[in-house]
Each structure stands twice: as structure tokens, then as C-alpha cells.
Chain A
Amino acid sequence: MISRLLRSPQAGLSLVILIAAIGLALTAGSHVDPATGNNVNNFLNAHTLFQMATDASGFAIMAVGATIVIISGGIDLSAGAVYALAGVVMAMVLRAVGPLDPVLTVALGLGTCIVVSLACGIANGVMVVGLQVHPFIITLGTMWIVRGIAFVASHAESILVPPALTHVAKASLGLNPTLSPVPLLAMLGVGTLGSIYLTRTVMGRHIFAVGGNAEASRFAGLPVQRIRLGVFVLSGLTAGAAAFLGASFYGSATSSDANGYELYVIASAVVGGASLTGGKGSAVSAMLGAMLIVLIRQAIRTLHLDQNYEWIIIGGAMIVAVVLDQGGTKLVARRVAAAAGRNPTSSMPPAPESK
């Protein structure tokens, strides 16, 4: 079991995160909790950890969608904008209908987010497939268009969402009332679903095939265009889910929400080992990638480093992570090649005997 874990593709990244977390815990120092009088580690305490999970949840959920697109050989730059539009439209719809039963409010909110993000995803996919334009360009365009729609629709105001939503998103689920495990659970849930989708279903397998070799997939009779369209729908949906969670948790939505998230999201997927040439990636790894980025941000705060350096550090760390991952891939490839050289696979075996 342990050896299987060690050999899993996530082993390297998990180890890096673990080491970074231990290092941070050891150097973070501690403070006295005024409520209990206990001495607590500045990093390793329930409150900070849940806070980090909440920070990570938004783009970790979207990173699962981004990874699916990247595995298919595409890219989606519009995720952050879709997040903003879904949040804004949900807030406006809920404000327009006025007070409702809490369950209805949550259902209507979630439904609105899903409808909006689904529409954006379909628009992206239809344009990429129908216009035969590279997804980078299409989603760069829709990124501005969608955020622009959110801006115009909301008049650039911050719109409050009903407290019913916040109650759900901040529910303590029986833990200490100051802790909010819902974003963490949502993140783990989406990661698990994404992982199962990619590794256990026919559609998931088709996505890997199209990203690995679209031409060969066409020759194997796969509906390549439909698969290419579908991944954008999924990416849109994860943005909608993240928007519902985010707007509910923070209690409001504006057109500038999740600004720049598209790049955090792609960075998470890439740090998680997804290849921009397609055919390679993992939903769980993308989530781990998101966690690593959040961990770095947290380290800057916990260690009282100058926050102005945040972007420089994250940028550098991302490049280092990808280079390390590539080095590891090459090493594995060389080992495989060496093993193949030792036992050549071709000899002169007998032909099928039944004649």
C-alpha cells in the first residue's frame, strides 16, 4: 500500500507540500490563544488550516476543470470571468425575486450559477469547434466579453447575497463554530469527482486520447469535436460551482471577483503535472498544485515576509515546480528506455499455428 502510494504520480507533489508545511510549522513560531490560554503554532492550527483550504477551494475547484481542458489539448482563459458573471447573475436574480424559503434560495442560487456557467462553457466550446480557432484566442476573447457583461449588468456594484447562502457555505457542521469546513469538503468532492471522471469513465478516457493524439483518435472513430466541446462545458461548470461557493461564503458578488484566477487555475494544473501539449494531467494533482500555491501565499503571511513580493515568489516557485516535474519525467523515460533495451521485445516467434 505504502509503495503504491509512493509510486503514484502524486507522490512527488504531495511530498513537496508536506515538506513545505513541516518547514513552515517549524519556523512559524507560536502565539497564545486568548480564549483558551493555550500556546498554538502560528501555522499549524485549525483556524489557519481551514482558512487556507477556503482560500484554495475556489481555484482548486476551477483547476479541476482547467486540467480537463488542458488534458484534451486545449486551454481555458475565461474561467475567472465566468466565475464573476455567475456570481453577479446569481446575486442579481436572488435580489430580484426577494426573500424566499432558505432551501429555495440555495436551490435557485445554485441553479442560476449552473445555468450561467453552462451557457458560457457551451459558447466557448461551440466557438472553438465551430470556428476552428485556437482555444487560447477564443477564451481570451470570451474572458473579456464575459467579464464585461458582468461589469455592465452589475453596474460595477457589489451585490449582497441572501444570508441563507452564507449560512450554508459557512456551516460549521458540528465543529467549532468559528471553523468552516464546507469549502474544504466541496473542494475534495469536486477533486474526487473529477478524478473518477477522468480515470474511470469512457468520456474521461476519450479526453486523454484526443489530447494525446487527435488524429489517431479520429482514426479510432472517436467523436473528436464533441469531446473538444464537452471539456469547455465542464470547465465552465467548475467555474460556476466555485462562484456559488465563493459568493455564498463571502456574502456578496462583484464583477471583479476572481480577477486573475484564470492564470492561478492554469498554474495549479501545470504545477500538478498537466502538459500543455495535451494527453497528460490529473484532477487530484491539479488540486495539490492549487494547495501548493496557497501554501506559498500563506508562508509569506505567516513568516511576515513583505507581501509585495508575493507574485515574484509564486511565479518563481511555479517555474521551479514545472522544471522539477519535467526532470522527473525525463528520468522515468530514460529508465523505461534502458529497461526496454535490456529485454528487446522483438524476436522471431512462431506465426499463429491454426491454419
Chain B
Amino acid sequence: MASPAVRFSGVTKRYPGVVALNGVSFEVAAASCHAVCGENGAGKSTLGKLLSGIDRPDGGAIEIDGRPVRFASPAEALTAGVAMVHQELASCANLSVAENLCLGAMPSRWTFVDRAAMRARAIELLVDIGSEIDVTKPMSTLSVAEQQLVQIASAVGSGARIIVFDEPTSSLSEGEAARLYALVRRLTARGTTLIYVSHRMPEIFRLSDHVTVLRDGEHVATRATTELDESELVQLMIGRKLDQYFPSHVGAAPREELLSVRGLSSPGKFYDISFSLRAGEVLGLAGLIGAGRSEIAKALFGLDPNVTGQLRLDGKPVQIRSARDAMRLGIGLVPEDRKVEGLVLSMSGRENVTLPVLDRVSTRSWIRSSEERAVAQKYFERLRVKVASADAPASGLSGGNQQKLVLARWIAAGSKILILNEPTRGVDVGAKAELHAWIDQLASEGHAILLISSELPELLHLATRIIVLRQGRVAGEVARESADQESLLRMMAGLDAAAHPPASTRARA
């Protein structure tokens, strides 16, 4: 085997409150396709960011062709021959394919863009990777796979020898996957090294020569793909005894049905979703990114105008057309992204907690200050929000405390049904354990909780039942007793249903 194109030695990266990568070391062979996989939060995307210059490591070294590198920016990485193919970010949707491809070096004549030369150059770049996309089309009209091809063409055309594919968020069709497969062979054959960051089994097995598995920021294994089969790989990704990380939670016995959902659909997002939610239970909602989990949460909270289907609350049919309707009916939503959807960061912790319940601490719109303070203080204490002062801006709080503010808001509002979307994403271990205990306790107090999480262990330990979504539809429902990570992961990825290529075609000697 040729000398490694990339060598990671002891690479460490910390984000506030999280160690994303901890002393990761492995090598990527030149002219090969190397998959990096792991669960959500394993650190695989961080690795791609470090290699392509988006972020810088806190410790350890990255070598390219035997020379240590430290990129200050993606542009610097590009100069050194490392390009990143990012799904949605890196193109100007309003410009044409040709303009996007020539953006860095626009062919010009006396400062005017030479349109003919630009188109010719763009076609040349695309033909080089075997694509025949119409270069005059606006970027926004292309499918995700086509946009990906344009980015690959751009990366190859810029002379990149190492291309990092960031985790694709939408799956490719059979035809697109076949074309991508051919392209990968073509690129590696001419000496390009590919690093494919993903947790999608079928693609990993079809595309890659080697697989590196990361787990909780640690390097677990690097193997030749042919030495592994799917269940071994899944085992490597999960790896741990779950009980060490998540103390077992005892859910209370489910009581009466609070919410019944029948045939909930929103075109392009999710279809025919039905379930019932009981007081005292935690219902888990699992699925890959893009499976429709967050979309369902928003729809139940009245934030999707196109939703159709039947909702019953305490047995009575209801319409939820706005967040206000949802609030009045006793539904609270802790959204996925607390900084964008959850908090007004410029306001204080107190103001964030009381935002939806101001009418309860005011007389004819006049806020009774002391009462407002008392309400905030009560939930600060109850949820153990740790702040110097309730008047400090929410922007300065840790992730765990910020999340508690959003949760406190809905408990203060008296919501019976709580929809929690990724409630522990990006919070540290201590706060996570606290939030878990809270979810448990709220359920036992009679709240009905819909828990959406990308972390399977979290779902397995908190949820009474788990509904698995795949491509906007319910793929199955499992009771806690009969669920395990592997079966959930398989259901989420559609492994049992979809035919994956037999070993003879995916194995490449």
C-alpha cells in the first residue's frame, strides 16, 4: 500500500462543554476511499472540519503526504489540495452551475465576464467527472445529488487531491448511488483520496476501501471494509454497555390517553403518522436526520400551515393552527435548536422563562414585577438553573442551563403535553443526567412526553415505547423491553426492508 495521504496523530478538539475528539490517530491510504463513521456526536464531522480547515485542533497533529499541516481557513486547505464537499452550504443558489464552478477564477475579457469561456470551462470540469449537467441552469433547480456532483467537479477542477465528503443529509436514489460509485472508482484510480463521513451502511459498504469508527470522540477501529460486515460495524459504532452511561429510569405506568394523532400528513415532510400519547409515558421518536421527526414536532405545535390529519385531545377533536392554539391546549415544545428557536438570547433568563406566561403575572398588560420574579425564581430553583442572577442575559449561560430555561418555560405554562426535540444535544454530561431525571420525573407527575432524540441510548432508557420514522413515514413501533440499538438502527436506515448489494459486488479486492 502506498504511503498515507493523511495521518491523524493524537488529534484532540474541544468545544465548550464537550470533547469532540480525544487523541484520535489513524491513517488514510493515498488513492483510496476511506469512510469515517460513528453515531451522531461521535466526532466524525469534527474530523472533517479539522481536515478541511473549518476548525483547528486543540492538540495532536494532522499530516498530509508526510508533512504536518495546520490550516487557518478552508481557502488555505484548498491551496494544499484538500477540498470539502458540503451538502447544502457551499454554493450560491441564485447563480448558474457555470457561474458557481468558475466563481473562484472567473474567465474575463477587459473585466467583463467571458460567458462563452465560462461555460466551456464549466462543461470541461463536469465532463471530467463524467457528468452532463446543463451548466446554464440555476444551482437551486438541481437535485441534491447533482449539487454534490457540481461541488465534486469544482473540487477536482481546483486540483484537490484529498476530498472530504461531509455527511450526506438525504439519501441518494439507486441510479445516483451507482453514478457516485463509478465516480469514486474513477477518482481513486487517478490518485485522489476520498474521505467519506457518514453513518449510512449501504453507502459505506459500496464506496469505501477502509472504515474508521469513532465513538464519543475516541478512535475505535480502522479496518479494511472487506473485513467487516454490517452487524460487526454496527457493534463497533455502539460498542458500550449502555447502563454505564445511562442509569436506568423507571417510568410510571401509563395512564389515560391525552393526545391521539391520526393520519397526520404534511406534503414533502411526513405522511400518515398515527400514534397515541398517554399521561405518564415517554414516547420516543427515532429516525435519521431528515426522517421527519422535527417536522412532526412543529406540526403538533401549530407551526406547519400545510398539515392535515386528525388530532384529539382528551378524546375531543381539536385544531392546532398556531403556537398559541397549542399553548392554550396545554402543549409545550422544547425546540431542536435552543439558540435559534428556543431562547431570545438578548433577554434575561427570567424574561425567557416568563415569555409565554406573561399574561398570568400581569393585570391588564401591566407586568407585576415581583410576581414575575417569583415565578422565574421558583422554576430556577426547581430545575436548578445555575446563574449568578435571573437578570443575566441568557446568552451567557451554559447549554444545559439554557435548555432548562426552555423546559422551565413550559412547566411554568402548565403544559400537560411536552414535546422535547433533542433536549440534551450539546449539553455536558452532568446537565444531561439532570435533564434525564427531569424527563422521568415529569412523566411520573402525569405529563405526557414526546421525546425526539438522535441518541439511541437516551431513547432506550427514557422512552416507554419508541416509534421509528423513515423518510417521513412510520417504519415501526417497538416497546422498550424489546428494543435494542441495533434493531432500531437497522429500522431507521431501512436495512431490513431495502435490498442492499450482496457481498460479492460490494467487496472489492
- Residues of A within 8 Å of B386, CB to CB, are 345-347, 349
Q: Is the CB of B366 within 8 A of A346?
A: no
Given A202-B367, A215-B341, A280:B441 Cβ within 8 A: no
User: Which 3 pairs across A and B sit closest by C-beta, in order of nearness?
Assistant: A351-B437, A348-B430, A212-B344
185-230 of chain A: CB within 8 A of chain B: 200-203, 205-206, 208-209, 212-213, 215-223
Give bound CA distance, A205 to B369, whole Å. 12
Given A219-B301, A221-B327, A201:B365 Cβ within 8 A: yes
Q: Shortest distance in angstroms between A116's beta carbon and chain B's nearest beta carbon? A: 26
Give bound CA distance, A212 to B340, whole Å. 10
Q: Is the CB of A219 within 8 A of B365?
A: no
Count of chain A residues with a beta carbon within 8 Å of a chain B beta carbon: 36
For residue A343, CB closer than 8 A to chain B, the reply is yes
Q: Is the CB of A346 within 8 A of B365?
A: no
Could you tell me which B residues sit within 8 Å of A by CB distance?
17, 250, 301, 303, 322-324, 326-327, 333, 335, 340-347, 351, 355-356, 358-359, 362, 365-367, 369, 384, 386-388, 392-393, 396-398, 400-401, 409, 428-431, 433-434, 436-438, 441, 444
Contact of A219 among B333, B346, B358, B397 (CB under 8 A): B333
| B399, closest chain A residue (CB) | A346
Q: Is the CB of A351 within 8 A of B344?
A: no
For residue A11, CB closer than 8 A to chain B, the reply is no
Q: Is the CB of A213 within 8 A of B340?
A: yes
Q: Shortest distance in angstroms between B436's beta carbon and chain A's nearest beta carbon? A: 8
Q: Is the CB of A208 within 8 A of B347?
A: yes
Q: Is the CB of B437 within 8 A of A218?
A: no
Could you tell me which A residues sit within 8 Å of B by CB distance?
200-203, 205-206, 208-209, 212-213, 215-223, 279-280, 336-337, 339-340, 343-349, 351-352, 354-355
- Residues of A within 8 Å of B437, CB to CB, are 351-352
Contact of B342 among A200, A205, A219, A222 (CB under 8 A): A219
| A210, closest chain B residue (CB) | B344
Give bound CA distance, A200 to B340, whole Å. 26
Q: Shortest distance in angstroms between A223's beta carbon and chain B's nearest beta carbon? A: 7
- Residues of A within 8 Å of B367, CB to CB, are 200-202, 205
Number of A-B contacts (CB under 8 A): 116
A-B contact pairs, 20 of them (CB 8 A): A202-B362, A202-B366, A209-B347, A215-B340, A219-B301, A219-B303, A219-B342, A220-B409, A221-B322, A279-B346, A345-B386, A345-B387, A345-B397, A346-B386, A346-B400, A346-B431, A347-B430, A348-B429, A351-B433, A351-B436
Q: Is the CB of A209 within 8 A of B355?
A: yes
Q: Shortest distance in angstroms between B445's beta carbon and chain A's nearest beta carbon? A: 9
Q: Shortest distance in angstroms between A68's beta carbon and chain B's nearest beta carbon? A: 15
Q: Is the CB of B358 within 8 A of A205?
A: yes
Please name 13 further chain A to chain B contacts, defined as beta carbons within 8 Å, in addition to the given A220-B356, A337-B396, A344-B398, sorted by A numbering: A212-B346, A213-B343, A216-B341, A220-B409, A222-B355, A336-B392, A339-B388, A343-B388, A345-B387, A348-B433, A352-B384, A355-B250, A355-B444
- Residues of B within 8 Å of A348, CB to CB, are 429-430, 433
Q: Is the CB of B366 within 8 A of A200?
A: yes
Given A337-B396, A346-B398, A217:B441 Cβ within 8 A: no
- Residues of A within 8 Å of B393, CB to CB, are 336
Q: Shortest distance in angstroms between B253's beta carbon and chain A's nearest beta carbon? A: 15
Given A215-B340, A216-B343, A351-B438, A346:B358 Cβ within 8 A: no
Q: Is the CB of B358 within 8 A of A202?
A: yes
- Residues of A within 8 Å of B346, CB to CB, are 208, 212-213, 279-280
| B435, closest chain A residue (CB) | A351
- Residues of B within 8 Å of A220, CB to CB, are 323, 355-356, 409
Q: Is the CB of B396 within 8 A of A340?
A: yes
Contact of A208 among B333, B344, B438 (CB under 8 A): B344
- Residues of B within 8 Å of A216, CB to CB, are 340-344
- Residues of A within 8 Å of B351, CB to CB, are 205, 208-209
- Residues of A within 8 Å of B431, CB to CB, are 346
Give bound CA distance, A326 to B386, whole Å. 29
| A349, closest chain B residue (CB) | B384
- Residues of A within 8 Å of B327, CB to CB, are 221
Q: Shortest distance in angstroms between A278's beta carbon and chain B's nearest beta carbon? A: 9
